[in-house]
Structure 1
Amino acid sequence: MPGGRLTHGDRRRIAAWLAEGLGYAEIGRRLGRPTSTISREVARNGTTGDYAADHAQRVSGDRARRRRPARPAEPPTAEQPTEVVRGFVDRFATLLAATGLPRMTSRVFVCLLTADAGGLTAADLVRRLRVSPASVSKSIGYLEAMEVVVRRPDPGGRRERYVVDDAAWLRAWQADTGAHARIAAAARRGVEIFGAGTTAGTRLGAMGEFFTWLSEQMSGSSLTASAVYDALTVLAALVHAGRPLTLGALAGALDWPEDRVTAALDAIRRQPAIADPLALRTVGPRTYTLTTRSDRLSQAQREALHR
């Protein structure tokens, strides 16, 4: 009904205007309602001569109560979460939105994150979030592109269910790592184009160094804990010696087989962040030493330290 349901005040005005002899069209115009609304109201609650506002209001209330019978309280379900759950979803979504994730996408993601193992359908998300299907669909597409949400068939019907599975975090981590490496490479290319001595080159150089470090730190997760431990042990041995050491000398000093030392050296080469701010250098046949990473200090800083 345009303008919502008639109020008690509306009905009093209808009664007064009927008493003045106004027609249904004029009364509807004054109330901002269709003429049919006024005619139905009067027809349901009396004739033109005996329409009573108070009686019409009581009848309307009784009719509304019959249409909406009281239902017993039900325990919360996935489709009807508690206010506490809704509050958590909103607060968590706000935090995610602050990182750059769209607000609605954040809400959809948190709903899926807190759902049962079977996930939720699009209809479930619409009911839980009280938003349009289009909003849910757009957010699901965004999350699928990030590879943090997967589709699964609904065993009970033809709909699809959306799930945040256990592998989502690894996929997101790997995607971020690759993106950081590409940003670092693009920044280094920018330094070549603009020149290292320019303002743009300096900014891009710092950006490239940061994203190179970030990518190295994140990709280090591909090594096992034991591989990282061995790599750190070899680094400690080279630092302690303070001179280049051969593979045989390292193996003898650590009392390790040579293949274990070789594996540790390979780990350092593959993940340079393990040695940061040092860098592994090969100075002879199967001979290794450590130097400082050239990108940790600018040319001016290196020159100043040699004065």
Structure 2
Amino acid sequence: MLNNVAKVRKFLKSYYSAILLSGGGQVNEQECEQQRWQAAERLALVLNAGGLQRMSARVLAVFLFTGAETVTMGDIADRLSVSAGSVSGAVKTLLSTGLIERLPAPGSRREHYRLREDAWPTLFSTQNTVVHVMLQATQAGMAATSSGDPAHHRLGRMRDFYEFLLEELPGLLRRWQGRQEVT
């Protein structure tokens, strides 16, 4: 985890240094597009350093940076210069986490996908399930250790943290939804 944080910090330092050195002069449309997709790849590196698989991170970056309403797996493969097979696994991962959705595309033989409007709250909602499973595993670990055991103490701290998350996440999501309704 600390190694990933160090990588992200190093990346961000070089990224912002490059922005400052670029001078902000006039750029043409092609340069803007190139900068857009370079930024997408940089975000993918950060997402990867944060734990997302590399291809899933790159595909998610395409969804975030595309100017199109929907994209196909072929569009993504072309944008990333990779095989459709490698995109397929990443799309399945992003579908299963609730970040993207499949859409009907009348007149098209290809499946179309887009980033869900509620992608981030949906992702956190699915985290509730993960948090609950972690809490159960922690409780089982505590039951398997005695109260004087250092492992029991560490597991207790872990349990307390996951109980806190389960209590706080629903309210956090409600506050987020309320904020979105205002904007």
- TM tier relative to shorter chain: 0.7 to 0.9
Specify every segment of 5 or more residues in structure 1 that has no aligned partner in the other structure, as ranges: 1-74, 226-307
Match of 2:66 among 98, 115, 124: 115
Q: Which of 61, 85, 92 is the equivalent residue of 1:141?
A: 92
Contact 2:72 2:111 in 1 (8 A): yes
SS in 2 for 1:128: helix
The equivalent residue for 2:111 is: 160
User: Structure 2 unaligned runs (5+)?
Assistant: 1-28, 177-183
Cα displacement (A) at 1:188: 1.8
Q: CA deviation at 1:222?
A: 5.6
Query: Aligned match of 1:94 in 39, 45, 49?
Result: 45
Residues 166 and 117 of structure 1: CA distance in aligned 2, closer, same or farther (over 3 Å): farther
1:1-307 equivalence runs, <5 A: 82-116=33-67, 118-221=69-172
Higher relative contact order (CA 8 A, sep 6+): 2
Over residues 87-132 of structure 1, what are the superposed CA-to-partner deviations in whole Å (9 max), with x where a residue is unaligned?
1111100111111101111010010122245210011001101011
Contact 1:153 1:159 survives alignment (8 Å):
no
Distance 1:98 1:188 in 2: 30
- In our comparison, the structure showing a higher alpha carbon Rg is 1
The CA distance in 1 between the partners of 2:131 and 2:68, in whole Å, is 32
Aligned-residue offset at 1:223: 5.0
Write 1 or 2 for the structure with the bigger share of helix: 2
3-state SS of paired residue (1:163): strand
Local SS of the residue matching 1:150: strand
Question: Which residue pairs with 2:9 in the alignment?
Answer: none
Q: Give, in angstroms, the shift of residue 154 of structure 1.
A: 2.3
CA RMSD, Structure 1 to Structure 2 (Å): 2.1
In structure 1, distance between residues paired with 2:88 and 2:37:
20
In the TM superposition, residue 216 of structure 1 has moved relative to its aligned partner by 1.7
Aligned residue pairs: how many?
147
**Is the Cα–Cα contact under 8 Å of residues 45 and 57 in structure 2 kept in the other structure?**
yes
Is this contact kept in 2: 1:196–1:205, CA < 8 A?
A: no
Q: Give the TM-score, by structure 2 length.
A: 0.73
Q: Provide TM-score, normalisation by structure 1.
A: 0.45
| Structure 1: distance between partners of 2:175 and 2:100 | 27
Mapped to 2, the partners of 1:124 and 1:84 lie a distance apart of 19
